[in-house]
Amino acid sequence: MRIELTLDCSDLDRMSQFWREAACFVVDGIIEGRYVSLGGHPVTLTLQRVDEPKTVKNRMHLDLLVDDLDAEVRRLEELGAVRLSAAAHEEFGQTWFVMADRRATSSAWPKAPEGPARDSG
């Protein structure tokens, strides 16, 4: 079994560039003007072009665990992401910022916890 997450977007080129750079994805496949499949991780992220704009809060978001939270927040802001929380959140032994990509898809960038990786399984 493979897991693939799909995000709807209106600007396919811009969003695929953002997520390639933000999360170090590589392009696995393209259906011109409709889909971009991004891989290079155990989970595939597919971007799907849709005509209708986002109108409500997303029910899914991506958490990207990083070692240097401040450096990663700065890097993502340089790519066009914006902070949705002015201050870092701290809970469950993690510290994170809620940020949005270029089309306001909210995601969290927590600092990776110390110690062995946890299986959320």
CB 76: neighbour CB atoms within 10 A? Answer: 24
Whether residue 103 sits in one domain with residue 65: yes
Task: Using alpha carbons, list the distances in angstroms from residue 104 to 38, 58, 89.
Answer: 19, 10, 19
| Claim to verify: residue 40 and residue 93 sit in the same structural domain | no
Grade residue 117 by pLDDT with cuts at 50, 70 and 90. very low
Predicted confidence (pLDDT) per residue in 14-27, tens digit: 999 999 999 999 99
Shared domain for 85 and 116, answered yes or no, is yes
Distance of CA 43 to the CA centre of its chain: 12
Q: What CA–CA distance (Å, rounded) separates 32 from 36? A: 8
Q: Are residues 28 and 82 in the same domain?
A: no
**Cα of 49 vs its chain's centroid, Å:** 16
SS3 23: helix
Q: What is the mean pLDDT of the chain?
A: 82
In this structure, the answer to whether residues 44 and 68 fall within a common structural domain is no
pTM of the model: 0.70
Q: What CATH number does the domain containing 6 carry?
A: 3.10.180.10
**Beta bridge partners of residue 18, listed in sequence order:** none
